[in-house]
Structure formats: structure tokens, C-alpha cells
Amino acid sequence: TPSSSDVLLTEDAVRRYLIRKPMTTKDLLKKFQTKRTGLSSEQTVNVLAQILKRLNPERKNINDKMHFYLTE
Amino acid sequence: SNSEADEMAAALEAELNDFM
């Protein structure tokens, strides 16, 4: 059963992270670890891909790694 | 594990590259 410590992989949660600071795909995946969301790896990848397609964040390279970010 | 995280990141980037 869900508890208050559960992490929800939602568009709103992703938006809040990307407004705060640029993040790589790995940074985002760390925020929504399967053991915290209860989703499978495949579900996590699919849901996060759909959310990022909708949000269509800006991209920039930092230390040769592609980062996503949003402005308010 | 770290390699699982790498695989997930690669899968996610592959999905996004088709779009972006």
C-alpha cells in the first residue's frame, strides 16, 4: 500500500526538478528509483520518456554531458 | 546497480532521440 515515503513519477515532479537545476537522464532516474516508486525499470523509462516529450525541456551540455532544464 | 542505471539511461535517451 502507498505510504507518504513513496515517490511518485509525475510530470509535476519532473518539472520541479528541471526548474531547480539542469539534470542528465541518469540524474532524473536517480530521483525516481524503482525501489522508491514501485514501478519496473521498463515502466520508469517509458513514463519518463513520455513526460520529457510533453515537457520538451531545453538541452545544454555541461562537462560534455547533455542536461535537460526548464525555465519558469 | 550502476549498470542497470546505465542501461535505463541509455534506453531513455534512445526513446528521446527519436523525438528530439
Residues of chain B contacting A26 with CB distance shorter than 8 Å: 5-6, 9
Please report the pLDDT score of residue A25 as a whole number: 96
In whole angstroms, what is the distance from residue A15 CA to residue B7 CA?
23
**Model confidence over A1-44: pLDDT tens digits?**
555 567 899 999 999 999 999 999 999 999 999 999 999 999 99
Beta-bridge partner residues of A23: A68
Reported residue count of chain A is 72
Please indicate whether, in this complex, the C-beta atoms of A48 and B6 are within 8 angstroms of each other: no
Residues of chain B contacting A30 with CB distance shorter than 8 Å: 5
* Residues 1 through 20 of chain B touching chain A, CB cutoff 8 Å: 4-9, 11-13, 15-16, 19-20
Residue A33 half-sphere exposure toward CB, CA atoms < 13 A: 8
C-alpha cell at A22: 539542469
Whole-complex ipTM: 0.82
In whole angstroms, what is the distance from residue A63 CA to residue A12 CA?
27
